[in-house]
Amino acid sequence: MLLSRINCEERQYKRILSNKNETMYTKTVVGIDMSMDDFHVCLMQVKEDHKSVVKGSRKFANTAKEFEEFLSWCSTKSKTKVPVIFVMEATGVYYEDLAVYLHEQQKYVCVELANKTKHFAQSHNLKTKTDKVDAKMLAQYGIERQLERWEPMSPQYKELRDVCREKLSIQKELSRARNQLHAMSHSSSMSKHVTELKVKQIQFYQQAIDELKQEIKRLVNKDPELKRKLAIVQTIPGVGLELAVILACETNGFRLVKNIRQLVSYAGLDVEFRQSGLYNGKTRITKKGNARIRQALYMPALSAIQWNEPIKQLNERVCSRNPTLKKKGVVAAMRKLLILTYILWKKEEEFDTSYQWI
């Protein structure tokens, strides 16, 4: 009887010791390197002593069936109550299906810009670049950074964004085709058949643009609240329906930004300074942002310089300080149009022509 009690106490003591020696993890991150057909993952955890360890890595097919198996694998490897953070890059569109699936499963998903993760890899002196190495790098990136949770774009804005992006793309092709036709008309010997085909190509582009414009109007009219907000924004001289729609859908109704500084940076219109010691480099905009927003703002800015009195005065002040760089005034007008659109959208107030700018 005494012997059995001693054995029982020994087992309890060993169980207590084993629980004390059990490793506690404070953070779990899964790095995901996406491609068209498959994706590589690496699951890392952080111990209480702040050391990170790789708990597993694997490749999955980029299919809905494999997404379920991927989550099952993560729960098996993590074995902890600490929430799992999923980190991936915003490259192409191949990440979207998995990101939306994880979001629907109430998981913490972080989608980061590729240039951020690239600089992070360079800071760690990573010379090898493979899918497996990139997945591990993304996991380490999630461990060392406090990342914001990704939110998918609303279906309404996503459909508008797809239509607007296609229209901008076709406009580029139309401009290119017109330039080619102009060169053909001044060529000494050009095939008549080729010229006719180029004319038909231009007509096709023009018809496609007209159809996309009608589709944009249809989608806007389908949502009375969106139509009302876009009407408010269009009270700004120089801002038309197309620009207002592009700014709204490219920023998911301005939900992707929290303030003016973030918005300007998102559009790539923020200024970068280059100065070190005696060196004084040129001051220019970064262009590290949404190129479609800058493309959409350019022509309306030229119109605003003519018909929007405050922006006209702004352009004159900038050009007087930079007489050899007139384009700086246009960039300043683009930036001001963007900010005005954001402010009126948030405040839901129409443009006041008598407002005194500071």
Which CATH number fits the domain 25-144, given the four candidates 3.30.420.40, 3.40.109.10, 3.20.20.70, 3.40.309.10? Answer: 3.30.420.40
pLDDT of residue 93: 84
Alpha helix (H) residue ranges in the chain? 2-21, 64-78, 96-104, 114-123, 131-144, 155-185, 192-221, 224-233, 241-250, 260-266, 291-307, 309-321, 327-347
Q: Which two tokens stand for residue 207?
A: 């018809």
DSSP 106: T
Token duo for residue 107: 């998981």
User: Which tokens go with 323?
Assistant: 């007489």
* pLDDT score recorded for residue 3: 45
pLDDT for res 224 = 93
Identify whether the C-beta of residue 30 lies closer than 8 Å to the C-beta of residue 85.
yes
CB burial of 264-274 (b: ≥16 within 10 Å; e: otherwise) equals bebbebbeeee
Residue 309 CB neighbours (<10 A): 10
**Nearest Cα to Cα of residue 209 among 241, 163, 159, 177:** 163
Helices 291-307 and 327-347 pack at an angle, to 10 degrees, of: 100
Residue 13 backbone dihedrals phi, psi, to 5 degrees: -65, -40
- Taking CA atoms, 96 is separated from 26, 99, 151, 158, 256, in Å, by 28, 5, 11, 12, 16
Give the integer Cα–Cα distance in Å for 66 and 70.
6
Question: CA torsion 248→253→256→262, rounded to 10°?
Answer: 60
Contact (Cβ atoms closer than 8 angstroms) between residue 160 and residue 247? no
Smallest CA-to-CA distance from 284 within 325, 339, 241, 340 is with: 325
Tokens of 83: 């929430």
Nearest Cα neighbor of 245 from 167, 352, 353, 152 is 167
Q: Give this prediction's pTM.
A: 0.80
Given this model, what pLDDT does residue 39 score? Answer: 95
Write down the residue that tokens 């018909």 correspond to: 307
Res 286: pLDDT:
86
Residue 260 and residue 269 in contact, taking contact as beta carbons nearer than 8 Å: no
Task: Check residue 52 and give its pLDDT.
Answer: 87
Rg (CA), the chain: 28
| pLDDT tens digits in sequence order for the chain, 358 residues long | 444 554 554 555 445 334 444 557 789 999 999 999 999 999 999 988 888 899 999 999 999 999 999 999 998 888 777 889 999 998 778 999 999 999 999 999 999 988 889 989 999 898 888 999 999 999 999 999 999 999 888 888 999 999 999 999 999 999 999 999 999 888 877 888 999 999 999 999 999 999 999 999 999 999 999 999 999 999 999 999 999 999 999 999 998 888 999 999 999 998 888 888 888 888 888 888 899 999 999 999 999 999 988 899 999 999 898 887 888 899 999 999 999 999 999 999 999 877 766 5
